Amino acid sequence: MKEPIRLRLRSRLRLLLAISMLLLWGCNPAREIEALLLLQDISAGEEPSLLKRLKDEPHRGHVSYSIGERRYEADLYTPAGGADAILVLIPGAAEEGKDDPRLIALARSLGRTGFAVFVPDFPTFRTLQVHSGNIGEVADAIDWLVAQPDLSRSGALGIVAFSYAAGPAILASLQPRLRGQIDFIFAVGAYYDLREVLVFFTTGWFRHGDEWRHMPPNEYGKWIFVLSNLERIPREDRAVARQMALRMMEDPNADISDLVVRLTAQGRDIHAFITNTDPGEAVSLLERLPRDVLDEIAALDLSDKDLSPLEADLILVHGLDDDIIPYPQSLGLQKALPPNQAQVHLVRGLLHVDLEPGLQDLWQLWRATESLLARRR
């Protein structure tokens, strides 16, 4: 899981200035101030904040649920005074799953503002494997929540998804039985065209309109891709590929030459794609990947799907320096939807834990947060 939005608002002057702007320009000052307090609370993590002093701690309970023969575990955070709406919080690949301290702190922050927060535990995410089966897992979580009408006063239901998890969230929302059940999706660092994402995190090159741009990619993403596709590569390459991925995720500069020589010809094709840095070669190398891998990419891709049945509103937040999924992906997703169905908020430095945001970045984050809070009723 990428770092959740974690801002360090060190400057009291900047905070007071932001509040003044909200009071002068806002149409709903109470909600706008609450949005600012929520951002401050998310920034604080487990440390004290004004929102913690003003609001009771939500209750964290454990839920076991079944859909057909499929069994799941989840945490449910319920506000002390009852919930105004329901959020499904999907972190993406995280070894600690729903028990990740960052995720717990985020769920509690959202719970303080009146959301019932449902955090399903998908086993593949704990093993850092992501695949098209996650679409059905997200859909199962929604199915269970829809069958619990007393969880919130309004019945509004939304999804908060980070990074890769935004794709399965949107694809689950497109399933016929769930159309109209999901009111909104709040996504941080979403993707649209998976092939473009793969080109980026192997080469560092991405398109913004007709212009090519470069940014050093996070090595983590490419090796998550390898781990996620172990079952789709030749059996004789799987153990070696897993060793390569784990070694490189621990140390991006590690020497894996001893493992590369043990790969089959098809395994070397995978290694060639992963380690290539030339965008001109990336597409042809991508096409040489095993057919099962290409089919999985196609299943998770959004750019070739009919998104017109999607009824949920999208609130998209993306870091301008996101080094796993570049920001034009959220812009592409917005463009693929009807006008006004998706809003995009671009923020510089979103992935940096110790960042003190600039005023414009704070303004964008506030607007996105206020839009989320507006969905409670």
Q: Residues 187-225: pLDDT tens digits?
A: 999 999 999 999 998 999 999 988 999 999 888 888 888
| Better-scored residue on pLDDT, 207 or 131 | 207
User: In one letter, which amino acid is 178?
Assistant: L
| Per-residue confidence band for 33, with pLDDT thresholds at 50, 70 and 90 | confident
Which domain, by its residues, includes 60? 12-193+309-374
C-alpha to C-alpha distance for 111 and 223, rounded to whole angstroms: 34
Residue 117 lies in a domain: yes
How large a percentage of the chain has pLDDT more than 90?
A: 65
Average pLDDT over residues 91-97: 75
- Claim to verify: residue 328 and residue 230 sit in the same structural domain: no
Neighbours of 16 (CB within 10 A): 10
Length in residues, the chain? 377
- Claim to verify: residue 99 and residue 34 sit in the same structural domain: yes
pLDDT of residue 358: 66
End-to-end CA distance of the chain: 29
CATH number at residue 150: 3.40.50.1820
Q: Which of 272, 300, 328 is the last residue of a domain?
A: 300
- Claim to verify: residue 42 and residue 120 sit in the same structural domain: yes
pLDDT of residue 6: 44
- Claim to verify: residue 60 and residue 181 sit in the same structural domain: yes
What is the phi-psi region of residue 299: left when phi exceeds 0, alpha when psi lies from -120 to 50, beta otherwise? alpha
Residue 6 lies in a domain: no
pLDDT digits (tens, 9 = 90+) for 39-90: 888 888 888 988 999 999 999 999 999 999 999 999 999 999 899 999 999 9
- Claim to verify: residue 189 and residue 202 sit in the same structural domain: no
Residue 341 lies in a domain: yes
Q: Which of 271, 300, 329 is the last residue of a domain?
A: 300
- CB half-sphere exposure, 163, CA atoms < 13 A: 22
pLDDT digits (tens, 9 = 90+) for 324-362: 999 999 999 999 999 999 999 999 877 533 345 566 788
- Claim to verify: residue 72 and residue 149 sit in the same structural domain: yes
pLDDT of residue 326: 95
pLDDT digits (tens, 9 = 90+) for 283-336: 999 999 999 999 999 999 999 999 999 999 999 999 998 999 999 999 999 999
Average pLDDT over residues 84-103: 86
Q: Which of 300, 328, 362 is the last residue of a domain?
A: 300
- Claim to verify: residue 147 and residue 268 sit in the same structural domain: no
Average pLDDT over residues 25-45: 81
- Claim to verify: residue 43 and residue 169 sit in the same structural domain: yes
- Claim to verify: residue 35 and residue 148 sit in the same structural domain: yes
CB 187 within 8 A of CB 175: no
| Per-residue confidence band for 179, with pLDDT thresholds at 50, 70 and 90 | confident
pLDDT digits (tens, 9 = 90+) for 236-268: 999 999 999 999 999 989 999 999 999 999 999
Mean confidence (pLDDT) of the chain: 88
Residue 247 lies in a domain: yes
pLDDT of residue 318: 94
Residue 2 lies in a domain: no
Give Cα separations from 111 to 35, 51, 101, 115, 165 (angstroms): 13, 11, 15, 5, 21
Q: What are phi and psi of 61, to 5 degrees?
A: -120, 160
pLDDT of residue 366: 87
Residue 1 lies in a domain: no
Cα-to-chain-centroid distance, residue 28: 28
Strands 70-78 and 59-67: antiparallel
pLDDT of residue 357: 59
How many domains would you assign to the chain? 2
Average pLDDT over residues 268-279: 94
- Claim to verify: residue 208 and residue 328 sit in the same structural domain: no
User: In one letter, which amino acid is 79?
Assistant: P
- Claim to verify: residue 218 and residue 84 sit in the same structural domain: no
Closest CA to 228 of 104, 84, 129, 122: 129
- Claim to verify: residue 155 and residue 252 sit in the same structural domain: no
Residue 95 lies in a domain: yes
Residue 7 lies in a domain: no
